Amino acid sequence: MTQPLDFGLVGFAELSTYPAVPQLQEHHATGRWLRVEHLLKAARCWTRSNSDDTNRPQLALTRRAQQLAEHVARILEMTFDAKAIASMFVDGVHLNFRSPAVTEIYLICAAQLQTH
């Protein structure tokens, strides 16, 4: 049996970053935001990689994902070209938190979570 994670600020900020990155990529590429189904997929990726099988934080954060992504887009002036996108992922699925872009997005998500 897996122990449920303590989703403190750090965990929620990390979980918020997972759907925010694909949201920003999609918006940059098409001018549209992702649908909830796609955001849930991103959140599930995070929970699987962190050994948590629950859905409790996923739905709430995916509802806020577009708002967070819009806020990040206003603050972070970045172009999501192929090179930037490639550097954001370790293996095409997991975010590379050593990437300056992912770090910036994470910090903005954490700041937003602290104020709400």
Tell me, what's the pLDDT at 51? 60
Domain positions in the chain: 9-115
Tell me, what's the pLDDT at 49? 66
Tell me, what's the pLDDT at 1? 39
- Ordered mean pLDDT values, 10 residues apiece, the chain (116 residues): 56 80 84 81 68 58 76 79 82 85 89 80
| DSSP-H helix ranges across 1-116 | 9-30, 36-49, 56-75, 82-87, 100-115
89 φ/ψ angles, rounded to the nearest 5 degrees:
-125, 145
Tell me, what's the pLDDT at 52? 56
**Other residues' Cβ atoms within 10 Å of the Cβ of residue 45:** 16
